[in-house]
Amino acid sequence: MKVQLRAFEKEDLDAIVKWVNTEAVTQYLSDSLIYPISRADEMKWLDSIAISNHREKVFAIVTLENELIGSVGLHNINWVERKAELGIMIGEPGLWGKGYGSEAVRRILRIAFEKMNLNRVYLRVFENNPRAIRVYEKCGFQKEGLLRQDHYSGHSYSNTFIMGLLKEEYLKSLDR
């Protein structure tokens, strides 16, 4: 075991503001993060992900030494169709490639399928993010589709994969 998930606290704000203003990290994330982001806006975001928000469940990723290293969440939760969109970031590039991301994804999948009883978790990942694609494939996600020229960066357009994992596939992977 390398990481645990916990709720975000107000004291985490400085770290979050740093991550979302680090281009090495945000280049792989949603286009809402292309602009510099203020503490005030990030505070509003922190307030918005309170446990009373039934559309989003976002958690802090901490190491066993209790160091805050990132965030992982389920977004656009649809309780009728029992599906949600996964998002993750390890906020310090120096901590990439140490197995933290894969374990954090497995932990949120456990919450999604075993606690929330979702049937489908999906995500969007840029084609030029092989590290993230590897993590999702290791965790059982399949590529389901390709959105052509979906993302603009560095004066050019690139493709985005949709990846998905169903509860039945998740449960089978536990048997192995």
Chain residues binding ligand COA by CB under 6 A are 25, 28-29, 88-90, 96-102, 125, 129-132, 134-135, 138
Whichever of 34 and 50 has its CB closer to ligand COA, that residue is 34
Whichever of 29 and 116 has its CB closer to ligand COA, that residue is 29
Q: How many helices (H) and strands (E) does the chain have?
A: 6, 7
Structure tokens of 17? Answer: 């503001």
Rounded (10°) angle between helices 39-48 and 13-20 = 110
The distance of closest approach from Cβ of residue 104 to ligand COA in the complex, given in angstroms and rounded to an integer, is: 7
Whichever of 119 and 128 has its CB closer to ligand COA, that residue is 128
Whichever of 54 and 176 has its CB closer to ligand COA, that residue is 176
DSSP H or E stretch at residue 39: helix 39-48
Instruction: Report the residue closest to ligand COA, judged by CB.
Output: 101
The distance of closest approach from Cβ of residue 52 to ligand COA in the complex, given in angstroms and rounded to an integer, is: 26
Residue 85 β-bridge partners: 75, 122
The distance of closest approach from Cβ of residue 9 to ligand COA in the complex, given in angstroms and rounded to an integer, is: 20
Rounded to whole angstroms, how far apart are CA atoms 108 and 113?
Answer: 9
Structure tokens of 64? Answer: 């066993």
Sort 168 into a burial class: Cβ within 10 Å, 0-12 / 13-18 / 19+.
Answer: exposed
